[in-house]
């Protein structure tokens, strides 16, 4: 059985970017994340200790979003590593990190980085 937890449209205001303006003014970001883990024990036990705590996932992501980076790839990588370290139960993480209205001279809703890591 494959079990997944999905958190959608987590919204953050942060200071990620290469341009000086981005690090001073900030921007809006959206994260969508899918976490894969064996959750059969939680299905039977009804115990929070047997699953991935969504509130903890959010707090860990928020902490990484509050640490400025030049690249979205760097932020996404930090989030992946932090979640895997905190939840060794994870077998796969897929993360979409989007910067809304990126400042590169065009009418663009978002620029996104999609990363997917599978663990043995």
Strands (E), 37-109: 92-100
Q: Residue 94 corresponds to which tokens in the numbers above?
A: 């897929």
Q: For tokens 């928020």, what's the residue?
A: 62
- Round to the nearest angstrom and report the end-to-end CA distance of the chain: 16
With beta carbons less than 8 A apart as the criterion, state whether 34 and 94 touch: yes
Candidates 11, 41, 84, 99; catalytic one: 99
4 carries an active-site annotation: no
Instruction: Give the side-chain half-sphere CA count within 13 A for 116.
Output: 3
Active site residues: 99
């Amino acid at each position: 059985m494959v079990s997944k937890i999905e958190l959608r449209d987590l919204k953050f205001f942060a200071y990620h970017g290469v341009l000086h303006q981005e690090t001073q003014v900030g921007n809006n970001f959206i994260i969508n994340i899918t976490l894969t883990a064996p959750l059969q024990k939680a299905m039977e036990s009804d115990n929070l200790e047997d699953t991935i705590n969504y509130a903890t996932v959010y707090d860990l992501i928020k902490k990484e979003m509050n640490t400025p980076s030049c690249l979205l790839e760097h932020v996404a990588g930090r989030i992946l590593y932090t979640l895997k370290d905190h939840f060794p139960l994870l077998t796969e993480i897929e993360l979409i990190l989007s910067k809304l209205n990126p400042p590169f001279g065009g009418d663009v809703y978002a620029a996104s980085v999609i990363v997917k890591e599978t663990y043995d």
